Amino acid sequence: MKLIAQLILLFGIAMIHYSCVQAQGEGFSFFDSIFESNIDENKLFQESRDSVFKQKLKNSKMFLTNNKSYSQEIVFLIDMKIPSGKNRFFIYDLKKDSISKSALVAHGAGSTLSADSLVFSNTPNSYQTSLGNYKVGNSYAGNFGKSYKLHGLDKTNSKAFDRLVVLHPYQCVPDEEQEYPICESLGCPMVSNNFMESLHRVIDSSKKPILMVIYY
């Protein structure tokens, strides 16, 4: 019991010292190292996603150069490596060479292995998201309101149309970013009602189909 009391006393002294050091504006190596480590990890993650984004954008521009039947003004980019609670659907203005808007987008429920790990499939009834290039097709009045059919352009998403994978809104998808995962779809890229209104304006005003890229 005497040893325990001494340990408690030492801990109390250490905490008092920590408070004093903090008040003087100095660091406390143990706690600061954890905090700085998290900042470093977030920074590295963001830098890696920025690098992938630039490469996917470059590939998209090459695709559009070779396919003039698609809009040369807008491309949609969806980075599924970014947590679902963070903005990862990007509307990219090719004329201004900048992101005009970003928002949350859900992935398929079958894709979730863990909070930070996803798998993807082109298999019917897998409820998984399919990676690849898509052509945003015609609009239609669906169960969730005005939606858009999607045509997979790669081997990884060639069955998207038959799987009824579409771009649609749903009320469970929030407008603001959050620290925890959002709801999931049955394989469709699913956005908030408000963001869908923005997509309506972009898609419906385009004279040519828009390229959408889902990557990881």
- In order of their start, the domains of the chain are 33-215 (2.40.440.10)
| More confident position, 209 or 22 | 209
pLDDT digits (tens, 9 = 90+) for 5-22: 444 444 444 443 444 344
Q: Which of 78, 86, 39, 47 is nearest to 60 (CA)?
A: 78
Cα distances from 122 to residues 40, 152, 165, 210, in angstroms, run 35, 10, 10, 21
- Give the Å distances, CA to CA, from 23 to 12, 17, 18, 27: 17, 10, 9, 10
With H, G, I as helix, E, B as strand and everything else as coil, classify residue 186: coil
Do 60 and 50 meet the contact criterion of CB atoms below 8 Å apart? no
What value does the mean pLDDT take over residues 153-167?
A: 98
Kindly report, residue by residue over 122-150, the tens digit of the pLDDT: 999 999 999 999 999 999 999 999 999 99
Do residues 88 and 79 touch, judged by C-beta distance below 8 A?
A: yes
Q: Tell me the backbone φ, ψ of residue 51, rounded to 5 degrees.
A: -65, -45
Give residue 118's pLDDT.
97
First to last CA, the chain: 56
pLDDT number for residue 37: 55
